[in-house]
């Protein structure tokens, strides 16, 4: 804990040096991309799964492919009960409080970046049918769900989004969804109540194998080079928030169902 301010200072310095050498597209933080195996805990499931959830949210667990089967009831209760909504609302409230301290210039370059899945939209109806993250990701199943365009808004995110719009932030939606899902994604966002964004940025064909951290950092760099000041970035994955061209403030929404490196 005591070393955290130092760590952040270090990362800030690294960010500054990366920004200076703008030709460099190396991320300043490397996310773990392989699973970390730990011995099975002998504490009871509820206590273990609460600690596991904290390890996941803080990124101590690193990359993982599926939630532990013993934690399915825990994650189900968390996601479908009041706690998930409340946790998201607290994040939105901190985000709005920060946003209201930003002085908006008249040049229209004050920006906020949002991720889509589990940030603006919740895919809980999909994950309810797929073991709350205990099943290995099935892309064709997922694509069918995306094409339905019926993921609901996370209510507190919609409130935040509209609040930022009112404050005259320029909103960029930056998602790991593919370019071929643009129409479905636009339709879903609009049905859920999101309108008036400045840009909707998806993964193009050439971004195929690029890790999310790098893909998103590259796209934020483009915005910065266009003169945008990225004040805030909201995402449920660390890969939405870390890397380079990071926002002045990043806001991490909870997601105990899946991990994207």
Ligand X SMILES: *[C@@H]1O[C@H](CO)[C@@H](O)[C@H](O)[C@H]1NC(C)=O
Q: Which is nearer to ligand X, 129 or 226 (CB)?
A: 129
Smallest distance, ligand X to C-beta of residue 140, A: 5
Give, as ranges, the residues between 239 and 258 that touch ligand X (CB under 6 A): none
d(CA 26, CA 24) in angstroms, rounded, equals 6
Binder of ligand X out of 65, 90, 105, 222 (CB under 6 A): 90
Q: Helices 72-80 and 45-57, interaxial angle, to 10°?
A: 70
Query: In what side-by-side order are the strands of the sheet with 110-114?
Result: 199-203, 170-178, 110-114, 229-235, 249-252
Binding part of the chain for ligand X, among 41-49, 85-93, 111-119, 231-239 by CB under 6 A, reads 85-93
Binding part of the chain for ligand X, among 54-62, 89-97, 109-117, 252-260 by CB under 6 A, reads 89-97
Q: Is 183 in the site for ligand X (CB under 6 A)?
A: yes
Is residue 108 within 8 A of residue 165, CB to CB? The reply is no
Q: Can you count the helices (H) and strands (E) in the chain?
A: 10, 5
Binder of ligand X out of 80, 86, 195, 225 (CB under 6 A): 86
Q: Which is nearer to ligand X, 32 or 155 (CB)?
A: 155
* Closest among 20, 19, 34, 36 to 243, alpha carbons compared: 19
Q: Which is nearer to ligand X, 17 or 138 (CB)?
A: 138
Q: Is 141 in the site for ligand X (CB under 6 A)?
A: yes
Smallest distance, ligand X to C-beta of residue 126, A: 11
Binder of ligand X out of 7, 106, 140, 166 (CB under 6 A): 140
Is residue 181 within 8 A of residue 144, CB to CB? The reply is no
Is residue 88 within 8 A of residue 157, CB to CB? The reply is yes
Give, as ranges, the residues between 37 and 76 that touch ligand X (CB under 6 A): none
Q: Is 138 in the site for ligand X (CB under 6 A)?
A: yes
Q: Where are the alpha helices (DSSP H) in the chain?
A: 4-20, 45-57, 72-80, 82-99, 124-128, 139-148, 155-166, 182-191, 212-225, 238-241
**Which positions from 151 to 180 touch ligand X by CB under 6 A, shown as an x/- string?**
-----------------------------x
> Which residues in this chain contact ligand X in the complex, by CB under 6 A?
86, 89-90, 93, 138, 140-141, 144, 180, 183
């Amino acid at each position: 804990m005591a070393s955290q301010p130092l760590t952040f200072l270090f990362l800030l310095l690294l960010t500054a040096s990366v920004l200076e050498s703008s030709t460099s597209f190396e991320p300043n933080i490397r996310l773990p991309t392989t699973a970390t195996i730990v011995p099975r805990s002998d504490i009871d499931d509820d206590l273990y799964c609460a600690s596991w959830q904290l390890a996941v949210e803080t990124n101590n667990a690193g990359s993982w492919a599926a939630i532990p089967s013993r934690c399915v009831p825990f994650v189900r209760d968390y996601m479908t009960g009041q706690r998930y909504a409340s946790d998201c609302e607290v994040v939105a409230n901190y985000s709005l409080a920060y946003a209201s301290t930003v002085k908006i210039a008249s040049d229209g370059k004050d920006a906020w970046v949002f991720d889509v899945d589990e940030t603006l939209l919740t895919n809980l109806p999909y994950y309810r049918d797929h073991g709350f993250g205990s099943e290995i990701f099935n892309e064709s199943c997922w694509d069918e769900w995306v094409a339905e365009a019926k993921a609901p808004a996370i209510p507190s995110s919609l409130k935040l989004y509209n609040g930022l719009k009112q404050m005259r932030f320029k909103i960029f939606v930056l998602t790991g969804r593919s370019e071929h899902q643009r129409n479905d994604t636009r339709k879903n966002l609009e049905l859920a109540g999101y309108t008036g964004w400045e840009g909707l940025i998806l993964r193009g064909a050439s971004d195929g194998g690029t890790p999310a951290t790098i893909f998103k950092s590259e796209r934020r760099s483009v915005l910065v080079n266009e003169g945008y000041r990225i004040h805030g970035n909201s995402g449920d994955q660390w890969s939405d928030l870390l890397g380079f061209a990071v926002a002045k403030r990043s806001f991490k929404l909870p997601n105990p169902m899946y991990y994207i490196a």
